[in-house]
């Protein structure tokens, strides 16, 4: 069975640009969560979506947005990129809403220059 797949794996963007990251959950999983992991730190929660509805949002500015599609895949968008947005962006899927039974993808490494 395929795990959580994220694309692209690596990305380099310039300050002020916009970026879209993609996530495909494990088949049958209806919930997708996004986390930001800055180098040397633990992941920080950004969003959770369940059945295409936002169920939770972390302490991130409005430059961060996300959505979930009918096939349960998800996109994370970040506008007006800052140097501090450089991080590993992780997607996690689970059967239901909540943090139990998360399976993380390998992430997208975003570098803002």
Q: Tell me which residues touch other proteins (CB under 8 A).
A: 4, 33, 40-45, 48, 50, 55-56, 58, 90, 92, 97-107
Closest distance of CB 26 from other proteins, Å = 13
Closest distance of CB 34 from other proteins, Å = 10
Q: Which is nearer to other proteins, 4 or 78 (CB)?
A: 4
Chain centre to alpha carbon of residue 73: 11
Encoding tokens for residue 93?
A: 């899927």
Closest distance of CB 106 from other proteins, Å = 5
Q: What angle do CA 42, 77, 72 make, to 5 degrees?
A: 85
Q: How far apart are CA 37 and CA 49, in angstroms?
A: 19
């Amino acid at each position: 069975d395929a795990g959580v797949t994220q694309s692209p794996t690596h990305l380099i963007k310039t300050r002020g640009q916009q970026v879209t990251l993609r996530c495909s959950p494990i088949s049958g999983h209806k919930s997708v969560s996004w986390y930001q992991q800055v180098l040397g730190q633990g992941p920080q929660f950004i969003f959770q979506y369940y059945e295409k509805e936002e169920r939770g949002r972390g302490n991130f500015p409005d430059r961060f947005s996300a959505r979930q599609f009918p096939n349960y895949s998800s996109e994370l968008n970040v506008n007006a990129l800052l140097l501090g947005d450089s991080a590993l962006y992780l997607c996690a899927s689970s059967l239901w809403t909540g943090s139990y039974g998360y399976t993380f993808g390998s992430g997208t490494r975003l570098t803002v220059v």
